[in-house]
Amino acid sequence: MAKVLAYCIGAYQICSVVWDSCGSNLADKLQKLQNRSARLLTSSSYDTNADYLFEKLGWIKLASQRKITKAIMVYKSLHGLAPDYLANMFVDRSSITNYALRDTSNKLALPQPRTNYLKNSFSYSGVVLWNSLPTDFRQASTLHKFKSDCSNFFR
């Protein structure tokens, strides 16, 4: 049973970009499933704090995992490590205007959504997440450094 739960959580972490736009109700249910699986794997009671168990197991909460995975996909898209169709989704903010603005260093242009469909898309939510990261993260020279910075930032 423990192997099945660990496999399910691992499969979710791989598909976290797909599950990122799920509603808050479904996200809460998935988080409760992860909490229950942590309690089951550690043979803990139902009252045990899940945060303590996650530290003990070395797990990251699913919401944080989704953010980390999305940020990594945006980084890969911007640095030529992803397919071209993903790289074409993002436009550098400084290339849109001729004005020298203060807040354009390594930031992306945010598309103006007219529907919730666009707000839930990777092209919009990825830009929002990327622009919210600290400047030194966005300027990371290697993927490994970016991954470690994001993992520490979102924990």
Task: For residue range 3-47, list pLDDT tens digits in order.
Answer: 655 555 555 555 565 666 677 888 888 889 889 989 998 999 988
Tokens 């707000």 -> residue:
119
Q: Domain check: are 133 and 94 in the same one? A: yes
Grade residue 133 by pLDDT with cuts at 50, 70 and 90: very high
Q: What percent of the chain has pLDDT over 90?
A: 29
pTM for the predicted model, two decimal places: 0.81
Q: Domain check: are 36 and 80 in the same one? A: no
Q: Domain check: are 150 and 74 in the same one? A: yes
CA angle centred on 111, ends 132 and 143, rounded to 5°: 45
With 0-12 / 13-18 / 19 or more C-beta atoms within 10 angstroms meaning exposed / middle / buried, residue 149 is middle
Which of 12, 37, 59 lies at the terminal end of a domain, its last residue? Answer: 59
Q: Find the domain containing 33 and state its range.
A: 2-59
Give the chain's domain count: 2
Which of 12, 28, 59 lies at the terminal end of a domain, its last residue? Answer: 59
